[in-house]
Amino acid sequence: MTDAVAPTPTTSVMTFVKANIRDYALLLSLITIMVFFQMATSTALRQQTFADALMLVLTSPIEVFRNGILFTPLNMTNIILQNSYIVIMALGMLLIIVAGHIDLSVGFLSGLIGAIAGVLMVTNPFWPVEWKLGTFPTIGICLLVGAAIGALQGMFVARFLIPAFIVTLAGMLIYRGLMIFMLSGRNLGPFPDSFQAISSGYVPDLLAFMAPPGINLLAIVAGAVVTALILLSNWRGRRIEHAHGMADEPITLFYARNGLIAVAILGFSWIMSNHKGLPNVLVTMFALVALFMFVTTRTTFGRRVYAIGGNAKAAKLSGINTERVTIMIFAIMGALAAFAGLVYAARLNSAQPKAGAGLELDVIAACFIGGAAVTGGVGKITGVVIGAFIMGVMNNGMGIMGVGIDWQQVIKGAVLMLAVFLDVYYKNKS
C-alpha cells in the first residue's frame, strides 16, 4: 500500500455514471428545468397557440431559447434574491436532517427575527420602548437570539429526548404568536438604507475605472477567480486520490464535469455583470455554502454529525458527545434562520406578520430533493443547493409563465414526490 501505484482507471463512463446516478441526475434535472423554462418563457412564443409554439420550438429552437426570459440578467438576479433565504436555511436544515432530526420552526423563527429587527430599528407606535439601534448591533443581536432559540430547541431534543418534530412544532406556534404580538399584526418599516443593503445592495465595482460601459468587471473577475479555485481544488483532489489508487472517475467525465462547472460559473458571472453586478446577498450566500461544504466534508464536527445520523448508538459508544453535537446543529440552524429572516425583512423593507410562513416547507423540500435521506446519515451541501435552486427556478419560471399559485403548488409537490421516489427506487435497485 506504500507504493503509489496508480492503476489506470478502467471504469467506463457509462458504468461510472450509473454508479453515481444520483449526483448526476440532480445536476441534469436542474439544467433541464432551466432550459425548459428558458424556452417556455420565451417572448417568441407569446400569443401563439400551443401547436404553433410547439412547431416553433422544433423548427428554430435557438431563436426560441435566445428570447427566453429566465436567463436575462434581471431575472437571474431576481432568482438569487428570491431564493437566498431558502438556500441559507437549507444549509442548516441539511445538518439537522443528516443527524436524523427535523426542524419545522425555521419559517416562523425567521419571521420572528425579522420582527425583532423591526422593533429594534424602526419607530413602532405599538411598542412601549424605542431603541433605534444601528444596523450592525441589530444584526448581531438577531443572530444571537436565533442561535439561543435554536440551542434551546436542541436541548429539548438532545437532553430530554423529545422528538424534534414535536419540539419544533411547538416552537413554530410560539414564534408565530410572538411575531404577531411584536408587530401588533401590522407591517413595520421602512428600514434604514444600510439594513436594506443586506438584500438589495450590490458589491461596488472596484474595477469600474477600467470596465467597458454597462459591464460590471468585478463580477466577471470574481467568477473567473472562483472558477479557477474550484478547478484547482478538484484537480488536486483527483491527484491525491490517484496517488492512493482510488480515482475511479473516468478522465473524460472528469473533464466534462469540470468544463460544465466552468461554463456555468463563467456564464453566470457574465449574466450578473450585465445587470448591476454582484448582489451582497449572493456573495454572503456563496461564502456560507463554501463554509458549510468545508464543515460537512473536512471537519471533525461534520463527521460526527454524519456518524450520529448513520448510527447514533455506535456514535455514542465511540465517545462522541451526541448531546452537544445535537444542540450545536440546532443552534446553527437558529442562527441561519435568523440571518434568513434579516435578508427577508431587508428585501421587503418591512417586518411583516406573515413573514416566513411556509418557508420551512420549501427548505425541507430542498433538502429532500437534494438527496438527503429521511433516515439520516446521508446528504450533501451541493445536493441541497441544487435542490433549492430546482425549487426556485420552478417558482420563478411558473410565475413568469403565469401559472396560477394553485397549480404551482401541485407541480412542486409532484416534483418533490418524484425526486424522493426516484431516490428510494434507485437505492432499492442497487
Partner 1 sequence: MGAEPILEMTSITKTFPGVKALTNVNLSVMPAEIHAVVGENGAGKSTLMKVLSGVYPAGTYDGTIRYDGKQRHFTGIADSEATGIIIIHQELALVPLLSIAENIFLGHETARFGVINWHEAHARTNVLLKKVGLVENPHTLITNLGTGKQQLVEIAKALNKSVKLLILDEPTSSLNEKDSDALLALLKEFRTQGISSILITHKLNEVLKVADRITVLRDGMTVDTLDTSTARVSEDRIIKAMVGRELTDRFPPRDAKIGDVKLEVRDWNVYHPQHADRQVIKNLSLSVRAGEVVGIAGLMGAGRTELAMSLFGRAYGQKITGEVRVDGKVVDVSSIPKAQKAGLAYVTEDRKTFGLVLIDHIKHNVTLANLPAVSNASVIDDPAELAVAQKYRKDLGIRCSSVFQTTVNLSGGNQQKVVLSKWLFSGPEVLILDEPTRGIDVGAKYEIYGIINALAESGKAVIVISSEMPELLGISDRIYVMNEGRFVAEMPARSATQEAIMRAIMKSWEN
Q: Does 311 bind partner 1 (CB under 8 A)?
A: yes
Q: Which cell numbers hold the place of 287? A: 461564502
Q: Does 299 bind partner 1 (CB under 8 A)?
A: yes
What is the C-alpha to C-alpha distance for residues 294 and 392, in angstroms, rounded to an integer? 24
Q: Which parts of 355-394 interact with partner 1 (CB under 8 A)?
A: 377-378
What would you report as the CA-atom Rg of the chain, rounded to the nearest whole angstrom? 23
Q: Does 314 bind partner 1 (CB under 8 A)?
A: yes
Sequence-separated (6 or more) residues with CB below 8 Å from residue 77: 272, 275, 276, 279
The Cα angle at residue 327 between residues 323 and 111, in degrees rounded to 5: 160
Nearest residue to 360 (alpha-carbon basis) of 86, 21, 27: 86
What is the C-alpha to C-alpha distance for residues 109 and 175, in angstroms, rounded to an integer? 6
Q: Which is nearer to partner 1, 2 or 59 (CB)?
A: 2
Q: Which is nearer to partner 1, 66 or 244 (CB)?
A: 244
Q: Does 232 bind partner 1 (CB under 8 A)?
A: no
Q: Which is nearer to partner 1, 183 or 320 (CB)?
A: 320
Residues contacting partner 1: total by CB under 8 A = 26
What is the DSSP annotation of 12-75?
-HHHHHHHTHHHHHHHHHHHHHHHHHHHHT-GGGTT--HHHHHHHHHH-HHHHHHT-STTSHHH
Q: Does 316 bind partner 1 (CB under 8 A)?
A: yes
User: Taking the complex as a whole, how short is the minimal distance between the CB of residue 329 and partner 1, in angstroms?
Assistant: 15
Nearest residue to 252 (alpha-carbon basis) of 51, 428, 16, 415: 16
Q: Does 244 bind partner 1 (CB under 8 A)?
A: yes
**Taking contact as CB under 8 A, which single stretch among the options 52-60, 68-76, 316-324, 332-340 is the one that binds partner 1?**
316-324
Q: Does 315 bind partner 1 (CB under 8 A)?
A: yes
Q: Cell 435578508 maps to which residue?
A: 343
User: Taking the complex as a whole, how short is the minimal distance between the CB of residue 48 and partner 1, in angstroms?
Assistant: 50
Q: Are 113 and 338 in contact (CB under 8 A)?
A: yes
Q: Does 1 bind partner 1 (CB under 8 A)?
A: yes
User: Taking the complex as a whole, how short is the minimal distance between the CB of residue 311 and partner 1, in angstroms?
Assistant: 5
Q: Does 238 bind partner 1 (CB under 8 A)?
A: no
Q: Which is nearer to partner 1, 247 or 271 (CB)?
A: 247
| The binder of partner 1 chosen from 43, 184, 233, 318 (CB under 8 A) | 318
Q: Cell 397557440 maps to which residue?
A: 49
User: Taking the complex as a whole, how short is the minimal distance between the CB of residue 368 and partner 1, in angstroms?
Assistant: 17
Q: Which is nearer to partner 1, 3 or 406 (CB)?
A: 3
| The binder of partner 1 chosen from 55, 240, 410, 418 (CB under 8 A) | 240
Q: Does 306 bind partner 1 (CB under 8 A)?
A: yes
Helix 280-298 / helix 381-401 crossing angle, nearest 10 deg: 150
Q: How many CA atoms lie within 13 A of 420 on its CB side?
A: 14
User: Taking the complex as a whole, how short is the minimal distance between the CB of residue 300 and partner 1, in angstroms?
Assistant: 4
Q: Does 19 bind partner 1 (CB under 8 A)?
A: no
Number of Cβ within 10 Å of residue 323's Cβ equals 15
User: Taking the complex as a whole, how short is the minimal distance between the CB of residue 298 and partner 1, in angstroms?
Assistant: 6
- Where do contacts with partner 1 occur on this chain (CB under 8 A)? 1, 240, 244-246, 298-301, 303-304, 306-307, 310-311, 313-321, 377-378
